Structure 1
Amino acid sequence: MTSKIDIDVWVADLNFPGWMDRWHAQAAEFSRIHPEYRVNVRGMNFFSFPEDVAKEVAEGRRPALAEYYFYANQVARDAVAPDGSPLWTSVTKAVGDRTEFLGEPVMLDDLHPAFRDYYTVGGDMDSLPSVGTTSLLFANRELLEKAGVSELPRTWDDVTSVCEAVSRVQDGPSHAITWSNHGTFVQQALATQGGFLTDNRNGRDARATTMDLASKEMMTWVEWWNGLHKAGHYLYTGGYPDWAGTLQAYRDAHVAIRISSSNDVNYMAHAAKLGGFTMDVDVFPHNDNSPYVGNAVAGTSMWLGNNLDEDVQEGALAFLMWMHNPVNVAQRHKDNSFAPITKASYDLLKDEGWFEQHPYHALTYDHLLAFPASTGKSGIPLSEGAVFGDFAGVQDVMVHAMGDVLARGADPFDRFTQATGEAQKLLDAYNHWALNTPRKAADIPGSSHRVEFWNDVAPYTAQDMENVVPLNG
């Protein structure tokens, strides 16, 4: 009996109910289609994934494929094997001019531009996006109608006006709007204004070396957010970031609007059903006084091992193409509200009538497609976003700074100037590690997410799902 060729795939367990079951089912199905291969999927801790991978590699174990959260892109780019060679290789270079692998069609040209661009640096797509999100605005239609509001707000001034209208509703909600104190919304606010977090075009022209958390774009956002809070319109639940608390406020009609991740669509729809109201959805609002240049994206991507045996690489690339076929991508979208990241999957969903039945599900794909070439300062496409070390640590710094502004009345500029210094120390420590060889896997600065940090891909715990939005209810 001929032995099978193993393809080891390591992924961060996003904690969705059934998340790893689907991964294992996909591995089994691919192995059935291509019986000469055996795909072995291993779920690992989301918070410590980069560090855990590095430790395993240092001990002589390495996967053919690994799925990193986008905050860890710089860590993945800096990862090395014990011999000092890069741990990962470019997907586009490995694919070359091939059109198929083991009969599985190459689908790189079919990727949604926003998600393709995020993982592309210098014209080279290092990793293949696997799930994608952006930020959306969710509204309680009946509460807005009571306030005399007929259109969802598209700009910050619109939001302020809607909040003022909601505040005048007799026996209305205690607040008009809420969102989690999380760095993803800071990134969105900067992106829509064409702002950067770091130098060197957000770390894409060269390694990021300088943080700026007190830029004009940042302070414009912070001041507006704080103004809503001071006026009694914004509900600050007080947690870091308290996704569950803001979701519950929306479900219980304590607010008329909640801003959240696009992968929250299923949960938000169910929350509206439990609350007995109609959900309306629109895009993340932008600054009226700055040219609108589109929304940023988030998600995960698959990294291909460097120096793999030829037959292992062939199988790994075939598995990548297969997991991105229209049926698999469309099902991933249905299950978890992730954007359909290929045109073929979007077309399949459209042809099935999915978007007619769930029109808000098309919004992420359609809106991001409208701004594929939009540019910010220095001509950077904003969908590309920032790439730098200890991204999660900087997120932690930002949300704590904003918490001090909202809850303790800290001066916004002073507090975010202080935050810039804190973030700079984190970036300096990471860069010192990355540029100092040999690197010790256990010492990656900021490789583990902070305790208070919770991601925007799978923001709820299993208990949250039971207490706030019962699954499949």
Structure 2
Amino acid sequence: MKLTRLFMILIIAACIAFPVSVFAEPITINWWHAMRSARGKVVEKMIGDFNASQSEYKVVGTNKGNYDETMNAGVAAFRAKKQPHILQVFEVGTQTMMLSGAVYPVFELMEEAGIKVDWSRYLQAVLSYYMNSDGNLMSMPFNSSTPIMYYNADMLKKAGIAPLSKSDPITWDELGEITKKLVEAKIAPAGMVTAWQSWTQIENYSAIHNIAFASKANGYEGLDCELEINNPLVVNHITRLKSWADDNRFMYGGQKYQGPKSEFMAQNAAFYIDSISGIAKLKKGVKDFKWDAAPLPVEAGTKKLQNSIIGGASLWVLNGHSKEEYKGVAAFLKFLSNNDMQEYWHKETGYFPITIDAYDSLKSKGYYKTDPLQEVGISQLNRAIPTKISRGLRLGYFVQIRNIINEELEQVWNGKKSPQEALDNAAARSNIQLRTFEKTYK
């Protein structure tokens, strides 16, 4: 009897000293993402650091394939009521996610979890892409990028051309002169290649020159928008690239990044336009030549350059979970935004640090003096306050629209259509997609 009483006293004492929550299993937070290979390992490290920093929550990261596959998996899971807490969705899925009814807006999540966030300390050109019409943040920016121009420094040196500025862009005319010299001297088989041709050569080209990609402020002000990419400036730009394709100053390497990157790494092209996230890949993959980076080219005579726009993906919080689970989600998103995590993410992947504090911290440590390549995209993104045009694109069925633009541009490169004809057709076909989206979600 005495032993039983003593045992009970010990149990009560243990419960007082160690609350039940200490013994409870941590609440699981599921994050489905599209980060693989080296980036996937970086994500796992960030998850591991969060899990080690506290004991209430355990984030479990699961790769669901590429961007398309991850978004489709999330949609299917939501319909089956088996959705994760967090879903990574690429930027072209923004409009669909906003109107899906499946989302717990990030600004509400943070407020209701009691976590104060100073959104003014985030990169505004990044934040503006994911804000609703009231200026509230719907998803948390994660892997944000913008395109820049890489070049073979050895080839330029051989041609007697000085290294390009990392802050002041050259003009397209100057790029044409440089690539002509390199090709004619047989220093480079081709002048330039470009990845993600819609994103780099139409979407960002338009934003930098403050030209509407679509009406209604690029779709931000209404679902009844229409594409306007068949305007004179864009048509002239594509016409120029076609003329360069005819004399090898431009080489088409494929719709995405694998082909163009391979051509640049094989020294088949002197210039390569792609995401800043390419920095990490080139650092690891290029061993035979020196390379460098510069801002995207601009049209001669442009009086005011706008910011480029972002690519990448953001983290969407899905409905259907408990209040306690959402506290964990909020804590994790806040953790990802701290300086240590943002600096680590930026250094390892090339993607932007999404907060001004992390950027300032890196500058104060002299990081960009040691590795100036990493600042080219940030400077380009931050060189102007975003306008209604340069803040980004808000289009439904954007995945299909990009595919249409890619198909029509390929018709230009193979000589089957004129630039005007192809862009007219791309706009008309895309507008059909936009009307279908409008009927579905209006």
Deviation of 1:361 (Å): 0.7
- Segments of structure 1 that go 5 or more residues without pairing to the other structure are 80-85, 436-473
The one of 420, 444, 451 equivalent to 2:427 is 420
Contact 2:190 2:249 in 1 (8 A): yes
* Cα shift readout 1:196-219 (whole Å, capped 9, x = no counterpart): 232211111122532233123321
The partner residue of 1:19 within 39, 42, 49 is: 39
**Count of residues in Structure 1 that have an aligned counterpart in Structure 2:** 413
CA contact 2:35–2:43 (8 Å) conserved in 1: no
**C-alpha distance in 2 between matches for 1:430 and 1:374:** 26
User: Are 2:167 and 1:167 aligned?
Assistant: no
The reply on whether 1:235 has 2:251 as its aligned counterpart is yes
Greater shift after overlay, 356-365 or 316-325? 356-365
- Please say if residues 229 and 235 of structure 1, whose CA atoms lie closer than 8 Å, have aligned partners that are also in contact: yes
1:205 aligns with 2:221: yes
> Residues 20-59 of structure 1: CA distance to partner in whole angstroms, max 9, x if unpaired?
3443443343233231222232322322333321221121
Runs of 4+, deviation exceeding 6 Å = none
Tell me which residue corresponds to 1:248.
Answer: 262
Please state if 1:109 is matched with 2:130.
no
Identity %: 16
Match of 2:341 among 328, 348, 355: 328
Cα gap change, 1:259/1:408 in structure 2, threshold over 3 Å: closer, same or farther? same
Q: Which amino acid is the alignment partner of residue 37 of structure 1?
A: Y
Alpha-carbon distance between aligned partners in 1 of 2:212 and 2:48, rounded to the nearest angstrom: 43
Deviation at 1:107, TM superposition (A): 5.2
Matched, 1:53 2:74: yes
Distance 1:297 1:226, change over 3 A: same
Q: CA deviation at 1:61?
A: 1.7
- In the alignment, residue 342 of structure 1 is paired with which amino acid? T
Q: TM-score, normalised by structure 2?
A: 0.86
Letter in 2 for 1:322: F
Q: Does residue 1:393 correspond to 2:400, yes or no?
A: yes
Give the aligned CA root-mean-square deviation in angstroms. Answer: 2.4
- Structure 1 residues 428-471: Cα deviation after superposition (integer angstroms, max 9, x where no partner): 23333334xxxxxxxxxxxxxxxxxxxxxxxxxxxxxxxxxxxx
* Partner amino acid, structure 1, of 2:225: T
User: Which residue number in structure 2 is paired with residue 66 of structure 1?
Assistant: 87
Give CA-to-partner distance per residue, 1:90-120, whole Å, 9 cap, x none: 222333498x64xxx7353321121112112
CA distance in 2, matches of 1:181, 1:112: 23
1:183–1:395 Cα contact (<8 Å) kept:
yes
* CA shift in 2, pair 1:58/1:254, >3 Å: closer
Normalized per residue, the structure richer in helix is: 2
Instruction: Look up the equivalent residue of 2:420 and give its one-letter code.
Output: F
- Displacement of 1:307 in angstroms is 6.4
Where 2:83 maps in the other structure, the secondary structure is: coil
Q: 1:87 aligns with which of 96, 99, 102?
A: 102
Shift of 1:381: 5.1
Partner of 1:284: 296
How far apart are 1:7 and its partner, in Å? Answer: 4.5
AA aligned opposite 2:177: S
Cα deviation per residue 1:326-377 (whole Å; 9 max; x = unaligned)?
A: 1111111122111122122223333444322211112222332221x143xx
Give the alignment's TM-score, normalised by structure 1. Answer: 0.81
Superposition map of 1:364-403 within 5 A:
364-371=377-384, 373-375=385-387, 380=388, 382=390, 384-403=391-410
2:15 corresponds to: none
Aligned to 2:132: 121
CA distance in 2, matches of 1:294, 1:281: 17
CA separation of 1:303 and 1:348: change in aligned 2, threshold 3 A: same
